[in-house]
Structure 1
Amino acid sequence: MHGEELLQKYFGTESVSLAIVLEHSRAVARKALEVARRLAEKQPLDLQFIEEAALLHDIGICETNAAKLGCSGEAPYIVHGILGRQILESEGLPRHALLCERHIGVGLTVDDIVSQNLPLPHREMVPLTTEERIVCYADLFFSKKPDNLSREKSVAEVRQNLGVFGEHKIAIFDNWHQNFNK
């Protein structure tokens, strides 16, 4: 069981949250595959993994308290990457699980977690592979706001959103943007 079937298993087949996460994740997968196909001409990439991981990157939201997304779990939204990792590890998808944990923004460092007092374990949660970075990059262009799911943000909007977390986050994005659009 992969991709959309796993989302249906955890969100329920008729839920508002499934519809939101599916539309968002499909948009992320399309953009990630577009980037990956361009890069695959120069380096080997696992396109199937990229597509599946993009579809599953937000599976942990099902266990969060995110009323605007139709979820009524106990955990705060920021924990959805870790919850997703647990879900995907239990489903026998360890590689997808790591991406799930590492996909928040351009990644979370221990310094980010401590300085922002985030309810997360004190460990590095940054994308390490090109495939992980591609999915994280694509995710930054799409929100989960129900009235804006399919609208792709501009580079300027992504940079502005990341700016709240510091210039170093914008620098990471700018590096990805340059490398992924050659």
Structure 2
Amino acid sequence: DALCEGEGVIDIGGDPGFVAAELLHSGIHVTVIDPAFGFAGKSDAFTTSFVQDPAHWKRVRQGATPFRIVRQPFDQAFASSPSNQRLLEGASALVALYPDEGTDFIMQYTAARAKRTALIPCNECWQYFPPHEPTYEGFVKQLLLNDCHYLHRFGQNAPLRREQIWGTPYCQVLLARSP
């Protein structure tokens, strides 16, 4: 029920729409923030058709728009824009699967607000792996350490927790924050 509140879930970098499709299927309204949504060559016709299906109006909470796309990067400029404040402040959660260069900003943003978050760090972004431990495991450890620093700086107490995802073909690490 918590995910259905307010502006619903924000899916950052949500192309090709798989997370949005699952949320909609569960009756949860979602906004995808991705400057290349539908243009990156990742989408498939079934998912695109499903997320646009008008039947979702009956599945989500009355008064909520089932599916929205914002074709902008999720960065400081986006977060600072007055036109985005209602969406950001009202979001029930932020989800980001493999957010690449957006990872650090997403972590800072959600730490500052103790915002419900689910993030899967990119396992192919070796350029972000720390030099002292240049592995995916080292990257995850560094992200958790950075999160502790952000929480301290912002006076919050809702740390990211490392969760294990079983049976997935790629990354099996999920970093989750609950308020």
Larger radius of gyration: 2
Fold shared by both chains (TM-score > 0.5): no
Compare the two structures and name the one with the higher strand fraction. Answer: 2
TM-score by length of 1: 0.31
TM-score by length of 2: 0.31
Compare the two structures and name the one with the higher helix fraction. Answer: 1
